[in-house]
Amino acid sequence: MNECEATGKTVDEAVEKALTSLGIKRNNAVIDIKEEPNQGLLGLLGGKDARVVVKPDKTPGNYIKAYVEDLLGFMNIDGKVIVSEDEEKLKAEIFGQDVGSLIGRRGKTLSDLQYLVSIIVRRQFRELKKMIVLDVENYRERREKTLIQLAKSVARRVAEEGIEKALEPMNPQERRVIHLALQDYPGVTTTSSGEEPNRKVVIVPR
């Protein structure tokens, strides 16, 4: 929904109705007051409700881009942010000379930043259902290839030895990579064990 028209006894009431319909916060809204409320003659006759038209100031993609750019500025990191979108996810990719520090050991810092960005954006766009992904210099693609190689190597040993093996703790996104990589692998199946943030994939012989 690009904009919403709403009415109410007061301007604030009308605005809140529109914000709820759009699923956005007031500080991310452009508010156009079309009509002020009018109580009419003696408050009885000819009264009119307030009427407003509200639309988002930024789309989710533009909001993510601006927020991540501000975040880089606060961290004194010179980076370029490119946002792409498909049916399942909104992805913000960071490129630059000194952006490697944003990744952290095994992507821990990057995962924490992605969680932060996701929380902030979903507070602004309550109806947003897409996954929010943050990446640095294509790290996630490289990490995914490494995880798939690891998963198949461990799965081969599990199938041969008949003994289950647990992988290192991973975030939900990385665990999903493992599960998908092994869903059709002969002789094994996968499950997850433990509590966040130490939840891990366990590869089990069939």
CATH at residue 94: 3.30.300.20
SS3 category, 197: coil
For residue 66, which phi and psi values (nearest 5 degrees)? -65, -40
Range of 97's domain?
A: 60-137
Bigger pLDDT: 2 or 158? 158
Number of domains composing the chain: 3
Whether the Cβ atoms of residue 60 and residue 14 lie closer than 8 Å to each other? no
The C-alpha atoms of residue 90 and residue 132 are separated, in whole angstroms, by 5
The C-alpha atoms of residue 198 and residue 5 are separated, in whole angstroms, by 47
Q: What one-letter code names the amino acid at 129? A: K
Interval 42-65 mean pLDDT: 84
Residues 21 and 35 in one domain: yes
14-24: per-residue pLDDT in tens? 999 999 988 88
The C-alpha atoms of residue 143 and residue 149 are separated, in whole angstroms, by 10
Residues 51 and 109 in one domain: no
Whether the Cβ atoms of residue 150 and residue 167 lie closer than 8 Å to each other? yes
